[in-house]
Amino acid sequence: MNQSLSNDTIIALSSGQGRAGVSVLRISGPQADLFLKTYCRGAVPEPRMSALRWIYDEDEQRVDQALILRFVGPDSFTGEDVIELHCHGSLAVVDEVLRLACLLPGFRIAERGEFSQRAFENEKLDLVQIEGISDLIESTTTKQMQQAARFLSGDASSRIEAWRKQILEASAYLAASIDFSDEGDVGESPHGPVLDLLSELETEFTSALDRSEKASRVRDGIRVAIMGAPNVGKSTLMNLLAERDAAIISDIAGTTRDVLEVSLVLNGVPVLLADTAGIRETDDPIEAEGVRRARKWAAEADIRLFLSEIGDDTSKPETDIDLWIGTKADLPRNTDQPFDVKISATTGEGIDALKSQLSNRVAELTSLSEAPSIVRRRHQSAIEQAIDALRSARALLTENDDVDLAAFELSLARTALDQILGRVDVEDILGEVFSGFCVGK
């Protein structure tokens, strides 16, 4: 953020857009109290004490009666002086309050995510916590909400900070071996403690990467592909799982030409369910393109459901799948096909069993034994860099006894962790992070 802009006093609507019972407008900056002194009568409220005040315009006309909350920096969300105006949720009231504020010197409308960016710049929150705010705002399921709250609370940041201190400890051992090796103040094998720390950290980093895959699925959702030959019941199954008529059902083979996606929630996790084109050889260029897209979508899916009509021994999965489903179970047919579950859209047979198996698979892909430390791709990339640096440091110590280069590799590992927290080299990602926020956050 430009320094001149950060010295401005900013205002924005922090609650949802549109009419509401109450709208909250937030002011932050060095001149925050000026709004109250200019447009409200009575003494400025004491910090963290609510007060009821009328807001008047420049012509002394009443605008609205608002509940005022005042926070004095650095004890505020942004670390600056902050005012919250809890007004009636009228569009006219909100627009008028914003207009009045912008008449004051040094006031302007906040940019997207600027309140959170000021909190980051004033060291009230690190970048992982800021991202937790974004994920919490965007959460649509219980598990997403709970995971985002862990990041916002600082659980992940504390773990990363602990790793950083361990690397500093290892660096201190190496420094001791350099500075005092001629004085007999260190043991004959000074690298032993360092190698133990590096091994412990590498194990923890690898475990964090493994957990991040499940955490990412909670955040980004699970992709489930419904595959099979034409007219086998894929669209019917999608409608049953979505509990609405999302896909067109027809006896004409090849009705579904493109990938049709529907969102639902299973076990507190968002799921993107895809009805794909029937897989078969065809001379129809449009249907062929649908088959190509179906295979591509399925290849990138987390869970693949393959449908075959019971008794059709020619219909078998082409690739690895998670569940093989036999359809039209109400018809009297014999088969030796090893289906995971048999269903009938007509009678409802097997539908509950299928939903149970699908829910269990979603749980397996997302269940976490402990809170994740990293979740985003940039976190994963930084941890991978840290692992490479630790491995290089260990090799330098064990194979070459090169303490200086090993110490340099440890500094690279520490820098990678600092990048996750937003302490170094993050200017290129700050714009992306904060642009995803609403103006009032």
CA dist., res. 268 & res. 97, Å (int): 39
* pLDDT (0 to 100) of residue 167: 93
Determine the average pLDDT of the residues in 293-316.
83
Note whether 298 and 213 are same-domain residues: no
Q: Is 122 annotated as a binding residue?
A: no
431 is in an annotated binding site: no
Q: Are 234 and 275 in contact (CB under 8 A)?
A: yes
Confidence of residue 251 (pLDDT cuts 50, 70, 90): very low
Q: Does residue 92 sit in the same domain as residue 200?
A: no
pLDDT tier for residue 432 given thresholds of 50, 70 and 90 = low
160 is in an annotated binding site: no
Q: Is 276 part of any known ligand binding site?
A: yes
The pLDDT, as a whole number, for residue 280 is 55
CATH number at residue 174: 1.20.120.430
Q: What is the pLDDT of residue 248?
A: 42
The response to whether 236 counts as a known ligand-binding position is yes
Q: Is 226 annotated as a binding residue?
A: no
Q: Binding site annotation covers 229?
A: no
What the block records as the tokens of 158 is: 């504390």
Indicate whether 255 pLDDT > 50: no
Domain of residue 33, residue span: 3-126
Domain closes at, from 75, 97, 126: 126
Task: Report which of residues 248 and 202 the model is more confident about.
Answer: 202
Q: 415 a known binding residue?
A: no
Residues 69 and 179 in one domain: no
239 and 339 belong to one structural domain: yes
Q: Is pLDDT at 339 greater than 80 in this prediction?
A: yes
Position 439 in a domain: no
Residues linked to residue 226 through DSSP beta bridges, in sequence order: 275, 305
142 is in an annotated binding site: no
Q: Are residues 380 and 360 in the same domain?
A: no
Percent of the chain scoring above 70 in pLDDT: 84
User: Within a 10 A sphere around the Cβ of 336, how many other Cβ atoms?
Assistant: 5
Is residue 253 predicted with pLDDT exceeding 60?
no
**Predicted local confidence at residue 191, as pLDDT:** 77
Where is pLDDT greater, at 326 or 315? Answer: 326
Is 441 among the domain residues? no
Based on the fold, state whether residues 285 and 389 are members of the same structural domain.
no
251 labelled ligand-binding: yes
Q: Is the pLDDT of residue 427 over 80?
A: no
178 is in an annotated binding site: no
The answer to whether position 288 is within a domain reads yes
Domain count, the chain: 3
Residues 308, 324 within the same domain: yes
Q: Is 253 annotated as a binding residue?
A: yes
pLDDT of res. 55: 97
Asked if residue 405 has pLDDT above 50, the reply is yes
Residue 84 is labelled as binding a ligand: yes
Q: Tell me the pLDDT tens digit for each residue of 340-389.
A: 999 888 888 999 999 999 999 999 999 887 788 899 999 999 999 999 99
Pick from 20-24, 66-70, 169-173 the range whose average pLDDT is largest. 66-70
Examine the domain organization and report whether 258 and 122 are in the same domain. Answer: no
Q: Span 26-55, mean pLDDT? A: 95
Residues 362, 227, single domain; the answer is yes
Domain end point (choices 100, 126, 152):
126
Same domain, 229 and 347: yes
Residue 430 lies in a domain: no
Amino acid occupying residue 91:
L
Q: Can you tell me the mean pLDDT for 278-288? A: 60
Q: Annotated binding residue at 386?
A: no
Output the domain CATH number for residue 62: 3.30.1360.120
Q: What is the structure's pLDDT at 183?
A: 52
pLDDT at 32 over 50: yes
Q: What CATH number does the domain containing 331 carry?
A: 3.40.50.300
The answer, yes or no, to whether residue 250 has pLDDT greater than 60, is no
427 is annotated as contributing to ligand binding: no
Interval 78-122: pLDDT, tens: 999 999 999 999 999 999 999 999 999 999 999 988 999 999 999
Question: Is 216 assigned to a binding site?
Answer: no
In a domain, 31, yes or no: yes
In percent, the amount of the chain with pLDDT more than 90 equals 55
Higher-pLDDT residue of 160, 291: 160
pLDDT average, residue stretch 135-160 = 93
> Who has greater pLDDT, 430 or 197?
197
In a domain, 437, yes or no: no
Q: Are residues 234 and 214 in the same domain?
A: no
What secondary structure, in 3-state letters, does the chain show?
CCHHHHCCEEEEECCCCCCEEEEEEEEECCCHHHHHHHHECCCCCCCCCCEEEEEECCCCCEEEEEEEEEECCCCCCCCCCEEEEEEEECHHHHHHHHHHHHCCCCEEECCCCHHHHHHHHCCCCCHHHHHHHHHHHHCCCHHHHHHHHHHHHCHHHHHHHHHHHHHHHHHHHHHHHHHCCCCCCCCCCCHHHHHHHHHHHHHHHHHHHHHHHHHHHHHHCEEEEEEECCCCCHHHHHHHHHCCCCCCCCCCCCCCCCCEEEEEEECCEEEEEEECCCCCCCCCHHHHHHHHHHHHHHHCCCEEEEEEECCCCCCCCCCCCCEEEEECCCCCCCCCCCCCEECCCCCCCCHHHHHHHHHHHHHHHHCCCCCCCCCCHHHHHHHHHHHHHHHHHHHHHHHHCCHHHHHHHHHHHHHHHHHHHCCCCCHHHHHHHHHCCCCCC
Residues 181-210 have a mean pLDDT of 78
- Flag whether pLDDT at 168 surpasses 70: yes
Question: What value does the mean pLDDT of the chain take?
Answer: 85
Is the pLDDT confidence value at 437 over 90?
A: no
Q: Based on the domain organization, do 226 and 259 belong to the same domain?
A: yes
DSSP run (H or E) holding 167: helix 155-179
pLDDT recorded at residue 336: 77
Of 79, 95, 126, the one marking the end of a domain is 126
> Known binder of ligand: residue 436?
no
CB contact set of 61 (below 8 Å; sequence gap of 6+): none
The pLDDT of 264-286, averaged and rounded, is 75
Residue 438 inside a domain? The answer is no
Domain membership of residue 212 (yes or no) is yes
With a cut of 80, say whether residue 288 has pLDDT above it.
no
DSSP state of 29: S
Q: What is the pLDDT of residue 26?
A: 97
Q: What is the pLDDT of residue 240?
A: 86
Q: pLDDT at position 73, please?
A: 93
**Would you state the pLDDT for residue 311?**
81
Residue 54 has pLDDT above 80, yes or no: yes
